[in-house]
Structure 1
Amino acid sequence: MTAPSGRWIEQWDPEDETFWNRTGERIARRNLLFSVLSEHIGFSIWTMWSVLVLFMGPEYGLTPADKFLLTSMVTLVGAVVRIPYTFAVAVFGGRNWTVISAALLLVPTVAAFAVMEPGTSFSTFLLVGLLAGIGGGNFASSMTNINAFFPLRKKGWALGLNAGGGNIGVPVIQLVALAIIGASGGPRVLLGLYIPLIVAAAVLAALYMDNLASVRNDTGAARDAARDAHTWIMSFLYIGTFGSFIGYSFAFGQVLQNQFDRTPLEAAYVTFVGPLLGSLIRPVGGRLADRYGGARITLWNFVAMGVATAVLIVASMRQSLALFTVAFVVLFVLTGLGNGSTYKMIPGIFQAKAHALGLRDEAADAYGRRLSGAAMGLIGAVGALGGVGINLAFRQSFLSYGSGTGAFVAFLACYAVCLAVTWAVYLRRPAVRADGAGPAPAEKPQLSYADV
């Protein structure tokens, strides 16, 4: 293992336990720490408009529909940029791109600081909000990079910790906003606090992170991952988990304001709780998936998400604020758990496919790391589009019915489909022969994904 100028590591084999115990784990954990910091701030900047709209009272001249449209477009950009951010790790190196992507967060933050005042047009707010979407891209590059550092047996926990540490940027910016609103501060105070934090994240990444030569210039991996059906199946499941998490993070405060007449301060008192718990439990979802299998945990998680959504529908129809709030927080927790379990499935699926192709040992490990790293970026991008759908669904539901009930009915149907897909693709047993002697003969070997 060497680290020439530019902090490139030429030899990296985390599946070798001797290497891992001697030097690999220490280096991987250091990179994980500073990856989490950068991704954390990226999530905060991406979701800052979920907070800024709470500051924007009648004097800003925006309707509830305008605010839902604004947050929808911010979510959309955050989803789309995840695709080039995934490629960027292979082109520039994980450490180098972390520095660049962290520094780019200054653009939307400074722009929002400049325009955040009454009298600014909606189109200007929309344009500046679109810039904030680049913060959503940090997740894809961070997950692709960290996936390469850890062995398969530890990916669930490592990826869950990386993603959970990033996701927690959502409740942190909401908590900071709560403190600022409570102290009668304005949105520019909030934005001003994040500018030095962004600079610090970029500098620390430059000083302490590393690039892995094994993922350099392998842009063809994304093409191969895009051709695999499992990439798109997992993308759909991730819409159900992460799409829900990010969509609800943007929408929760607005739903409380518009359906239950909460003031900005009253909404801010509870909006951070769901994203906070959902972020903290994401590593637990990964750890449970490591132990029991990601597909099993994901299946039962969708069952629980469906139950929580049904309770939300009842609470919404009865206008029960207490029941609504509790059920929404529970749903947030379940989205976090599902985020961890679904992401653990990805490397396991490609490892299983490598074994089915006859690859073993280092060759199988390299195949799994290569395709799973590329697939994670694509899955993360498509999954984030679920947040766009959630905000647009809430917008239409409030325009049509004056409440979020219609949107929750649509979400319940989506979770039912996710449940069915998880069972049919990853948990259904292969057909047995009529004599009961075993699986029916097939041209291709039946793969078991129950333990991925």
Structure 2
Amino acid sequence: MTRSHVIENWDPEDTGQWESGGRRIAMRNLRWSVFAEHVGFSVWTLFAVLVLFMPEDVYGLDAPDKFLVSAVVTLTGAVLRVPYTLATAVFGGRNWTMFSAFVLLIPAAAMLWIMANPGQPLWTYLAAGAIAGLGGANFASSMTNINAFFPQRQKGWALGLNAGGGNLGVATIQVVGLIVIALAGNRSPHWVIGLYLLLLAVAGIGAALRMDNLPHQPVDVQSMKDVARDRDGWVLSLLYIGTFGSFIGFSFAFGQMLTMTFVGNGQTPGQAALHAAQLTFLGPLLGSLTRMGGGRLSDRLGGSRVTFWTFCAMAVTTLALVYTSTLQSGGDGTLSGGALVLFFAAFLTLFALTGMGNASVYTMIPAVFEARSRGLGLGESERAAWSRAHAGALIGVAGAVGALGGFGINMTLRASYQASGSATTAFVVFAAFYVIAALVTRAVYLRRPEVGEVSITRTTTPSAGPPLTGDEPAAIR
């Protein structure tokens, strides 16, 4: 008998429905959502691994060119997150997961052809990278879909697991690159791409067989317009630029920066690629794992508290990178002894912090709208629908805006290397941004109001909801 893939009257806040089978259904969709997003992230960051197989004398791309391609890949993934957010409501979570997996076969195949035919003009790399950006957009549709499956009390954990599992795709493909370089050398990128052609097919077929559509998902164009005009929408998107933008931007740049450092210390391009591959995956791996745990920590301590202290720590860690970059000799990327160890340790710490911040910011989003929905004067079902719709919309918008931070990271690094041959200026810019983000978090979400005083002034449009008063859930405070 064929199983229906459409679930009517889904209400995760209904404890009876949840315990009598709802949780099992939600977990099944979560597992395949994580897998499909995981593979999508891998394809999105495929170029970050392929650069290890692309010595300049063979492929004709210098460091600024590679940073430019990385920036274009992140830009496409960011921009497409907005329509991808709406896609699950229009086409269904199952249907869109199938499409978003199968469509990535196109850029993967294009990358395979380009790597097999070196010496192509820069625009071919830019075009293939732009299409690969579709993999980054998968995040928005996946998160919006999973947000609708889980009750408010478990959203932080579920969204953290979904996002962290997807983010692990960045580390996984770098491990695959390491294995291929170790076994077949840095002239065999087709093994990496071929594996992901297979995994994309598995993700699409698995989604078709095991996932479900939820009719009437509460993400719509009006909700997107509401959050685009809303103060919380802008503030939370800014914070996500600092967390996720840093994670994805550094994921693209880390391997290339390590390779340049090793070459500057006298290694051949092949040796440098192998050594960089041995280390690069650790950064995205840490960022993905801390995102998984960061959701639970934010549920317990409060998303804004975790976000504030995370940005403070990111600023300090980036200043350590400023120090190490000033130790480079002659602008050739050379670092020696303790400076190289400090550079690597600081970068790993920064990756771990970005993952924690990713989780804490995303925990804040549904909590903010849940708190504000209480003052709308609506019935319980209408209030919950309003909250889920606006939270889902902002998850997509913040994901799109946040991913633009990856574009900014790579373009800033490109400009810094072009101007001085080092990343010092770029790291100073990043540290300043983290300080600003920490101050904004404190001013908007951690400020303690006086008795009887409203802590935050909101927009006064009917859809905006009430201001926060200090009585909101711990996930906000």
Q: Same fold (TM over 0.5)?
A: yes
Aligned residue among 447, 462, 465 for 1:428: 447
Q: Provide the residue aligned with 1:264 in structure 2.
A: 273
Query: What is the aligned partner in structure 2 of residue 22 from structure 1?
Result: 20
Q: Distance in 1 between matches of 2:111 and 2:217?
A: 35
The residue aligned with 1:44 is 42
More divergent stretch after superposition (441-450 vs 252-261): 441-450
Mapped to 1, the partners of 2:297 and 2:322 lie a distance apart of: 29
Match of 1:125 in 2: 125
Query: 1:303-452 to 2 correspondence within 5 Å?
Result: 303-318=312-327, 319=335, 320-359=339-378, 361-432=380-451, 438-439=452-453, 446-448=468-470, 451=474, 452=476
What's the CA shift string for 1:386-428, capped at 9, x where partnerless? 0000001111111111111111100000000100110111110
Query: Which residue number in structure 1 is paired with residue 283 of structure 2?
Result: 274
Contact persistence 2:73–2:133 (CA under 8 A): yes
Offset from partner CA, 1:175-200 (integer Å, 9 cap, x none): 00011111134111111111111111
1:445 CA displacement:
5.0
Structure 2 gaps of 5+ residues are: 328-334, 461-465
TM-score, L = length of structure 1: 0.95
Partner of 1:142: 142
Mean CA deviation greater in 337-346 or 302-311: 302-311
Q: Is the 8 A contact 2:372 2:467 kept in 1?
A: no
Contact 2:324–2:342 (8 Å) recurs in 1: yes
Give CA deviations for 1:318-368 in whole Å, capped at 9, x if unaligned. Answer: 241110001100100000011111101000001111013234633322211
Structure 1 residues 8 and 260 mapped into 2: Cα distance closer, same or farther (>3 Å)?
Answer: same
The letter for the 1-side match of 2:353 is: L
C-alpha contact 1:75 1:387 (8 A) present in aligned 2: yes
**Where does residue 164 of structure 1 map in the other structure?**
164
Question: Is the 1:89–1:216 contact (alpha carbons within 8 Å) kept by the matching residues of 2?
Answer: no
Contact 1:11 1:214 in 2 (8 A): no
Q: Which residue of 2 aligns with 1:243?
A: 245
Q: Identity of paired residues, percent?
A: 54
How far apart, CA to CA, are the structure 2 residues paired with 1:228 and 1:440? 17
> Secondary structure of the equivalent of 2:118?
coil
Q: Which residue of 2 aligns with 1:73?
A: 72
Q: Deviations over 1:45-103 (max 9, x none)?
A: 00000011111002111111111101110110011111111111111011110011111
- SS where residue 220 of structure 2 aligns? coil
Asked if the contact 1:178/1:269 (under 8 Å) is kept, the reply is: yes
Amino acid at match of 1:49: F
Q: Deviations over 1:225-282 (max 9, x none)?
A: 2222211111100000000000000000111222453611111111100100110111
Aligned length: 444
Kindly provide the amino acid, as one letter, of the partner of residue 342 in structure 1: V
Does the CA-based 8 Å contact 2:218-2:385 persist in structure 1? Answer: no
Question: Relative to structure 1, is the Cα distance of residues 447 and 309 closer, same or farther in structure 2, using a 3 angstrom cutoff?
Answer: same
Counterpart among 197, 200, 222 of residue 199 in structure 2 = 197
Distance between the aligned counterparts of 1:231 and 1:218, measured in 2?
15
The equivalent of 2:86 in structure 1 is 87
In 2: Cα distance, 1:224 partner to 1:439 partner: 25
Q: What residue is the counterpart of 1:178 in the other structure?
A: 178
Q: Structure 1 unaligned segments of length 5 or more: list them.
A: 433-437
Give the Cα–Cα distance (whole angstroms) in 2 for the partners of residues 360 and 163 of structure 1: 31
> Which whole-Å CA distance do the structure 1 matches of 2:366 and 2:279 have between them?
35
Instruction: Give secondary structure in 2 for the equivalent of 1:429.
Output: coil
- SS state at 1:119 partner: coil
Q: Which amino acid counterpart does residue 82 of structure 2 have in structure 1?
A: I
- Aligned-residue CA RMSD (Å): 1.8
